[in-house]
Structure 1
Amino acid sequence: MSSTTIPGALRAAAARYGDAPAYVEDDRTVSFAALHVLVQRVAGHYASLGAEPGFRAVVWAPNSIEWVVAALAVTYAGGTLVPANSRYTAHEVADLVERTDAAIVVVADGFLGRTQIADLHATTSLEGVRVLDIARLLDEASALDDAALAAVVARAEAVSPDDVADILFTSGTTGRPKGAMSAHRQTVGVAQVWGDLGGVGPDDRYLVVNPFFHSFGYKVGIVTGLLTGATLYPLATFDLERTLDLIERERITVLPGAPTIYQSLLAAPGREGRDLSSLRLAVTGAAVVPVVLIERMREAAPSGLGIEQVVTAFGMTEAVVVTMCREGDPADLVATTCGRAVPGMETRIADDGELLVRGPWVMLGYLDDPEATAAAIDAEGWLHTGDVGVLDEAGNLRITDRLKDMYISGGFNVYPAEVEQTLARLDGVADVAVVGIPDERLGEVGAAFVVRSADPAGAALAADAVVAFARERLANFKAPREVVFVEALPRNLSGKVLKTELRKTPR
């Protein structure tokens, strides 16, 4: 079994780390050896449901030990993992199921008080698709007899480093999500690089606030944990008090996350009385990072968090980790750049200022979309990121603008075209444009500029109805927080909306 496949990495971790804790969640601890057994059981369960090698499975759930087992079992059984955002609506997940032709959907029914399974069945036809409740998954996956175990192991051994391990969906300027495909060698390789640069090892206790459905939680969380022997502590949702308790009680050493995580910790009531001295590594970069934040993260308690190694990085779904600062870099460099290219990756700036990246961690391509793949990756293998940046003499990257209109809210990418397409379906909306605007807590939030239609529906349209319509059909972080009604959208001669002008519009 190749060590550059996810099943191979799991088996090697079980052999190397054995009874050491792989995951701790509440009062549960699962060792690396026990994790391997659980994954084999669930992989056998998938096979018993008719999933053939090469099948695709969507996992729609928050961070948990069950998520890890469900996901790793997909690749162990020879399948391809399709993570779905835990905040997605059934409409959004149904689209992923249909586009990937998924055979299995694993769902956390009842998460955030919702009825995911019922909503999914009501939204789309699931003929031929097995929908499994993640809470009952381990109970339904019985122990394997010798023949079933041998069959599962044979599937895992047949997985090739070049097989597609996962399809992570992102969005583009058209607003339609695109599935970035990565091979096993890429998912394992980039996780190893990240772990090496962070010096992650078996003595680390890694609090995973980043969602598992995102490459930051899945690839440099779950997979890095397998490769390094670190113990992972998954959090379903970010809860400030619980996070502080876990850091203090469990002596957490590694805590990556968006800048908002650290800002929340610094502003937490009573933080000065907490012992957070175990923290040694923080990796951020999902948004612009103020220099003062880096300084306070490094500064000793009680005024700061006392984290010895604070670094920023640049990555994207299509390449996961492209650049990263290194231990010892000064605070202003960490705050104002995304560091230098990681081992194996190259960066350069095109004539128009766009950042181009090339290397082994660049995706295979977009699922069933050769045109979009060709537009993203040129004939020389350079991935066109859509970001405008500059490189200093040492190769440190600074992102200065975006060619696309994407903005980042609380660490999550939001693509205005997707939100605009959704709002355009609302009765009373004649025209709409969405932009990101500054927000002290989340970095950026959406503002929707709406032109009402000249009919009764338009006359009656209110801002709260626009927001409610978006929240019903899109994940919460995508829904605009502000709605501004305007007579017309500013456009150039070619008809493109001038979003720079909209950002200047009084609200």
Structure 2
Amino acid sequence: MSVDTRGDLTWGTTGRLLAMTARRLPAAEAVVDGELRLTYRALDAEVDRAARAFLAAGLEHGDRVAIWAPNSARWMIAALGLQRVGGVLVPLNTRFQGAETAYLLDKSGARLLLTVTDFLGKDYPALLTTAAGGPGAGRPARDLPGLERVVLLSGEGDGQGWDAFLSTGEGVPADEVERRAARVGPDDLSDILFTSGTTGFPKGAMCTHGQALRAYALWGAVVGLREGDRYLIVNPFFHGFGYKAGWLVSIMAGATALPARTLDVPHVLEMVRRERVTVLPGTPTLYQTMLEHPDFSAAGVASLRLAVTGAANVPPALLYRIREELGFEHIVAGYGLTETCGIVSMCRYDDPLEVVTTTAGRPLPGVEVRIAAPDGGEGEILVRGYTLMQGYLGEEAETAATIDADGWLHTGDVGTLDEEGRVRITGRIKDMFIVGGFNAYPAEIENILVRHPDVAQAAVVGVPDARMGEVGAAFVVPRAGRAPDPAAIIAWSRENMANYKAPRRVEILGELPLNAAGKVDKNMLRERATR
């Protein structure tokens, strides 16, 4: 099936996007990273310097460059620089160990790796060199024949320093960057984002410049991102939420991007206050933790205007608290997958909160959604349209198993469509567990549990049971000043949901384990529940 991935593009490529914004808003603040403050004119110049260095390193059109580093202005500059001259960005999860990263470097064929030696006590090149065990076993840096150079965005160690790397491009003429940039078009790959799949090995979802630009121009419009907004990006850049729905859309709108290296709530609260942050997307967990933190004050977050959450399900009680206690004017929720450039549907910024609490909004224009259910009820969500990936890198069989002959992506998510075309997510096929023949969806149970007056957060997983096959185990974080009793929560659950949905065991935790994207790590909870 032929799908138009470009639409009516203003920019065509990320390189031209930045150049046009720099001409339109040369003196506007583009990025703030600690003491570093760059205008759009200055950011564009830094990206040109990086592009020249990539050309000096021998980067050819379509070559892959991996970035394994926390959020920073240099991350943005490097990504935009390599894309400007036809390179393909491969973001890598900062929580990966050396073996995992070696596997992905080999899989993607990355010629260059940009990384750090000083993040959370980790020296990433050292991890890579000593990689052992896991899917990347036996593939340390010296055994990756395609990896030609390691560049350090920060820190000192095994690799070329960032300043030294930039200096190598000084002999490359500026018109060579222009010539190479002119070759890059909307249908060229801009990035490969890796996602785990049914095989257990990560798969690289390929996306073009045109897809990303078309999708996130619409994203910015429907959520109400404005010129001059100050956007604190706590979502990691290796994830579409921090990259495309983060700094990329900020450039489209002419907003200021403020990258955060870690999800550190005291730092977030201080940044919001000091930098007068107006936009703060994140997971429900971030907002919940902010509300419960002793440093929180309503005056300190008075500048906040827009919240965007990308979780599949957001507890209604939490969204009402966010609006009332954090003071957001607009709260929107959305739904997306790596295989759809990170976006399928979004609430609109003027949607009433009742819509945001119960749905993930309507599909973006040009994106189709249907439910694989014969009666039009609950079933697997299927997606078709211009946001669909170009396929999994080197995985034709996996691609065919995910996107059918009619062009529908089988998401693995379960949900419904209401009469106005809004998507409602009810669970994941893989997360669903069966209790005595009844399907139980954790997201639905979690939304009920957070209505309990003592419960701030809840996560539910299925665990084996000799009589019922599987039953629910709930992990609960209490609200500040509360001390919930597990037995009382179980009794309350039986009064407030069908018996098969009620968890058979409850464990109280100080916090839920999160993955690097800020989502609850259900695999870790399943392991804990079955010990």
Q: Name the TM-score, length of structure 1 as normaliser.
A: 0.79
Tell me by how many angstroms 1:287 deviates: 4.5
Residues 284 and 394 (structure 1 numbering): CA distance in 2 closer, same or farther, change over 3 Å? same
Alpha-carbon displacement from aligned partner over 1:295-344 (angstroms, at most 9, x marks no partner): 11111xxxx11101011111110111111112333333212211111222
The answer to whether residue 281 in structure 2 is matched with residue 256 in structure 1 is: yes
User: What SS is found at the alignment partner of 1:78?
Assistant: coil
| Rounded Cα–Cα distance in structure 2 between residues aligned with 1:15 and 1:436 | 56
Question: 1:393 matched to which residue of 2?
Answer: 419
Question: 2:35 matched to which residue of 1?
Answer: 27
User: What SS is found at the alignment partner of 1:480?
Assistant: helix
CA contact (8 A) 2:66 2:112 kept: yes
Question: 1:127 matched to which residue of 2?
Answer: 145
| Rounded Cα–Cα distance in structure 1 between residues aligned with 2:218 and 2:73 | 24
User: What SS is found at the alignment partner of 1:313?
Assistant: strand
Alpha-carbon displacement from aligned partner over 1:433-466 (angstroms, at most 9, x marks no partner): x999644459xxxxxxxxxxxxxxxxxxxxxxxx
Paired letter, 1:350:
A
The answer to whether residue 17 in structure 2 is matched with residue 5 in structure 1 is: no
Tell me by how many angstroms 1:132 deviates: 0.9
Residues 230 and 330 (structure 1 numbering): CA distance in 2 closer, same or farther, change over 3 Å? same
Residues 437 and 183 (structure 1 numbering): CA distance in 2 closer, same or farther, change over 3 Å? farther
| Rounded Cα–Cα distance in structure 2 between residues aligned with 1:436 and 1:138 | 53
User: What SS is found at the alignment partner of 2:294?
Assistant: coil
Question: 1:50 matched to which residue of 2?
Answer: 58
| Rounded Cα–Cα distance in structure 1 between residues aligned with 2:399 and 2:284 | 31
Residues 305 and 34 (structure 1 numbering): CA distance in 2 closer, same or farther, change over 3 Å? same
Residues 334 and 72 (structure 1 numbering): CA distance in 2 closer, same or farther, change over 3 Å? same
CA contact (8 A) 2:53 2:170 kept: no
Question: 1:96 matched to which residue of 2?
Answer: 104
- Which of 275, 279, 291 is 2:304 aligned to? 279
| Identity over aligned pairs, percent | 44
The answer to whether residue 352 in structure 2 is matched with residue 327 in structure 1 is: no
- Which of 328, 333, 346 is 1:307 aligned to? 328
Alpha-carbon displacement from aligned partner over 1:228-260 (angstroms, at most 9, x marks no partner): 110010000011111111111111111100001
Residues 273 and 289 (structure 1 numbering): CA distance in 2 closer, same or farther, change over 3 Å? closer
CA contact (8 A) 1:56 1:79 kept: yes
CA contact (8 A) 2:347 2:361 kept: yes
User: What SS is found at the alignment partner of 2:192?
Assistant: strand
| Rounded Cα–Cα distance in structure 1 between residues aligned with 2:172 and 2:237 | 32
Paired letter, 2:329:
E
- Which of 398, 411, 422 is 1:372 aligned to? 398
- Which of 324, 330, 345 is 2:367 aligned to? 345
| Rounded Cα–Cα distance in structure 2 between residues aligned with 1:218 and 1:271 | 27
Residues 153 and 477 (structure 1 numbering): CA distance in 2 closer, same or farther, change over 3 Å? farther
CA contact (8 A) 2:25 2:40 kept: yes
| Rounded Cα–Cα distance in structure 2 between residues aligned with 1:440 and 1:349 | 32
| Rounded Cα–Cα distance in structure 2 between residues aligned with 1:258 and 1:34 | 32
Question: 2:486 matched to which residue of 1?
Answer: none
User: What SS is found at the alignment partner of 2:231?
Assistant: strand
CA contact (8 A) 1:191 1:224 kept: yes
Tell me by how many angstroms 1:91 deviates: 0.9
| Rounded Cα–Cα distance in structure 1 between residues aligned with 2:203 and 2:310 | 23
CA contact (8 A) 1:312 1:338 kept: yes
Q: Map residues 143-182 of structure 1 onto 2, 5 A cutoff.
A: 148-182=173-207
Question: 1:239 matched to which residue of 2?
Answer: 264
* Runs of 4+, deviation exceeding 3 Å: 143-147, 405-409, 434-442, 475-479, 481-484
Tell me by how many angstroms 1:374 deviates: 1.3
User: What SS is found at the alignment partner of 2:263?
Assistant: coil
| Rounded Cα–Cα distance in structure 2 between residues aligned with 1:170 and 1:313 | 19
Paired letter, 1:279:
L
CA contact (8 A) 1:81 1:165 kept: yes
Question: 2:219 matched to which residue of 1?
Answer: 194
CA contact (8 A) 1:42 1:137 kept: no
Tell me by how many angstroms 1:173 deviates: 1.8
Residues 435 and 179 (structure 1 numbering): CA distance in 2 closer, same or farther, change over 3 Å? farther
CA contact (8 A) 1:248 1:276 kept: yes
| Rounded Cα–Cα distance in structure 2 between residues aligned with 1:317 and 1:482 | 24
Deviates further, 143-152 or 34-43: 143-152
Alpha-carbon displacement from aligned partner over 1:183-206 (angstroms, at most 9, x marks no partner): 110111112111111221221000
Tell me by how many angstroms 1:147 deviates: 5.3
Tell me by how many angstroms 1:351 deviates: 2.5
RMSD of aligned alpha carbons: 2.8
Question: 1:203 matched to which residue of 2?
Answer: 228
Question: 1:213 matched to which residue of 2?
Answer: 238
Q: Name the TM-score, length of structure 2 as normaliser.
A: 0.76
Residues 479 and 404 (structure 1 numbering): CA distance in 2 closer, same or farther, change over 3 Å? closer
User: What SS is found at the alignment partner of 2:199?
Assistant: coil
Question: 1:384 matched to which residue of 2?
Answer: 410
Question: 1:82 matched to which residue of 2?
Answer: 90
| Rounded Cα–Cα distance in structure 2 between residues aligned with 1:160 and 1:114 | 37
CA contact (8 A) 2:204 2:393 kept: yes
CA contact (8 A) 1:38 1:138 kept: no
CA contact (8 A) 1:283 1:311 kept: yes
| Rounded Cα–Cα distance in structure 2 between residues aligned with 1:364 and 1:435 | 39
Residues 389 and 42 (structure 1 numbering): CA distance in 2 closer, same or farther, change over 3 Å? same
Alpha-carbon displacement from aligned partner over 1:86-139 (angstroms, at most 9, x marks no partner): 111111111111001110010111211112112212331133521111123144
Alpha-carbon displacement from aligned partner over 1:413-450 (angstroms, at most 9, x marks no partner): xxx9xxxxxxxxxxxxxxxxx999644459xxxxxxxx
Paired letter, 1:90:
G
| Rounded Cα–Cα distance in structure 2 between residues aligned with 1:436 and 1:106 | 43
Deviates further, 351-360 or 214-223: 351-360
| Rounded Cα–Cα distance in structure 1 between residues aligned with 2:296 and 2:520 | 29
CA contact (8 A) 1:388 1:400 kept: yes
CA contact (8 A) 1:260 1:441 kept: no
The answer to whether residue 338 in structure 2 is matched with residue 317 in structure 1 is: yes
Paired letter, 2:100:
E
Tell me by how many angstroms 1:50 deviates: 1.9
| Rounded Cα–Cα distance in structure 2 between residues aligned with 1:29 and 1:176 | 39
User: What SS is found at the alignment partner of 2:332?
Assistant: strand
Question: 2:430 matched to which residue of 1?
Answer: 404
| Rounded Cα–Cα distance in structure 1 between residues aligned with 2:92 and 2:56 | 24
Residues 280 and 109 (structure 1 numbering): CA distance in 2 closer, same or farther, change over 3 Å? same
Paired letter, 1:266:
L
CA contact (8 A) 2:298 2:327 kept: no
CA contact (8 A) 2:56 2:172 kept: no
Tell me by how many angstroms 1:478 deviates: 8.0
CA contact (8 A) 2:106 2:146 kept: no
Question: 1:357 matched to which residue of 2?
Answer: 383
